[in-house]
Structure 1
Amino acid sequence: MTGGAMSGLTRYLTAAVLVRGADSGATVGLLLLAADRHQSAATGGLLVAALTAPHLVGPWLAVRLDRARDRRRLLALAYLVYGVALTTGALAVGRLPAAAALAAVAVAGCCGPLLTGGLSSVLDDVTRSRRGRGWDALTYGVGGTAGPAAAAALTASAGPLGAVLALAVAAVAAGALVVTLPAAGAARPEEAASLRAGLAVLIRRGPLRRVTLLTLLAALQLGALPVVAVRFGTELHGTAAAGATLTVAYGAGSLLGSALVTAWPLRGEPEVQAARLFAAMAVATAACAFAPGYAVAIAGFAVLGVLNAVSFTATLAARGAYAPAGAQAQVFVTSAGLKVTSAAAGAALAGAASGFGGQALLLAAAATTGLAVVAARVDGKLAPAFVPAP
């Protein structure tokens, strides 16, 4: 890899950590800000929902991204809008009617898909190596961990408003870096797929359909695990804090898994790798349910984190390998938006079913991910083999 390419990758990774850390940290920052302004817990929850729910507009934004002559500029604009809207919403909390704050935060949320899948869709313009996908997956883990930690630390030193404003600045800074990336190699606007055609790609292309199925059903488990961890930790160790420790172990495992695939990139067909890794995750989840003690459960959740990170890297590689040039952004952004929605559903289902106990919830999660693997395998047997477009 040339020095210029390495420099471009460094700028990409810095921007990715900044913007993904800002997005994950904003949820914590908004909750702390609402509490500081003596708003109800419901208001804090609505602010978080306003930031996450608009991810569903991702497919429409992705069409714009696929058709843009310079995708870097559109991404930078989205990050600027995110920062300004988040700032506006934060300033409005407790000072203006709740609707005003929610509307501003929702505008920031509409940009959310371009902070995740949208940015990943231009990675091939920086590097096409498997190691690059590993680095990209690592930015999700680092951003997801560092963002909330930064929000908490900044709240302690500068107050919750200062924390949210700092996160908004981080998003804008990421936009400034994105503009400096190597020129995008997007399809010409007239060659970009329409919204309908872009969505159809996820269904009609066998490998993409199967990887999307694996992603969606496994995301149910991803969203449910924090809820399950609290329940399971309490049952094993007697305190809710024990559940938090399981969640931390899972997060640490995710960071380790991302680092591993960065050092030793996955090889072979991405779809095959994804299916094998999700199968391993289903087995590991079921094994966690029968952990004989708390220490073993901690180790089991760490293993789950490793497998989640590695399987996520495989899905990123699959999207990059199988998505046509005119629908790259739509594949990445739509998949990311659907994953967020599925994870939210998993958290809600786990909360509603928490009365069944941690072991039952873990077994249900394992069965769901296992079902996805079986369904993908059956689909692969029935569907014709994928032939890359010339």
Structure 2
Amino acid sequence: MAAPFAHPEHEPVARAAAGFARTHADLVALRPEPLHLLARTRHAGRRTGLVSGGGAGHEPLHVGLLGPGLLDGAAPGMVFTSPHNRQVLEAGRAAAGPDGVVLVVKNYTGDVINFRIAAERLRLEGVRVGEVLVDDDVATDSADNAAGRRGTAATVVVEKLLGAAADAGADVDALVDLGTRVVAASRSLAVASRAQTDPATGEPAFALGPHELELGVGIHGERAERTVARPPLPELVEQLVGQVLAALPAEPGEASGAAGDGVLVVVNGLGATTQLELYAVMEEVTEALDRRGVAVAGALVGTYVAALDMHGFSVTLTALEEGWLDLWRAPSSSAALSGGGPGGPEVVPAPWSGAGGEPPAAAAPVDG
């Protein structure tokens, strides 16, 4: 294996953030100290800001989801490390709308602590703040796990649906309620055939044999409870779909409130998995759901929540409630996720971009 490409004299996350902001200067602006990024525009109807963040190494999450119909602010930490609460505070302060701001937090101890500190500081400043905790990972759904389920690829679904609802004028309470329900209706499970490269050593973070899989791997390279023999892809996907469906609070179409609406599917690459592989997985997922009488109402295939360069994928299922599919299909525009209905969202400059609020130019060089 080889060490990552990085400037020997610059901190890599700040350097990458500067490059991202330079490339997508029409969409995002960089504030280098403390490091956070902001969407340059937002939907004209949005009154509540949306902010998320987490350790680097998961790109395009979260910075790639900055823009109309999605996030207003994102705070990236060091690789696989929570952002500091001051980063979240500044992003939340800048992104808050007239009705306040909602923070979307993946369930990891560092993220939870730092986002809660930032939330309390914002409240002391008079900003109305809501929090949505994403905890969708089936592999950590155990009574013995005091920290609870990890937050993984369902974060993309949460941020997309909340973004559309915020564009429709939803306030903090409505967004928190929606986000909580979406999280409850979403579960994910990941598998890997090769660990991510450790940036410090240039070697795999853990070893797997050529015919082994880590079933239930985490997005930071957390080992699963078991390493399994590698089955053919149809058998593997059948097992994944079965476990994820069984972990949903109710079968789609029953008490979940998803009657007739089916599920959203996210087939997410973990960093080194090709689109060719991911679309093949999607076809297997669809067939496995068909055999169970579960309709695929919407799908997203690609690398959205990476684990550096891990070779593997995750499957996320969200049992839809009435109205959620419209939110999923609503227009959005970001570096990593764009589309939706015809015409695109009606946008206005973000609040921070007025007099005295303009951050440094996106193309400004940033040294770590």
Whether TM exceeds 0.5 here: the answer is: no
More helix by share: 1
Identify the structure with bigger relative contact order (alpha carbons < 8 Å, sequence gap 6+): 1
Question: TM-score, normalized by length of structure 2?
Answer: 0.25
More strand by share: 2
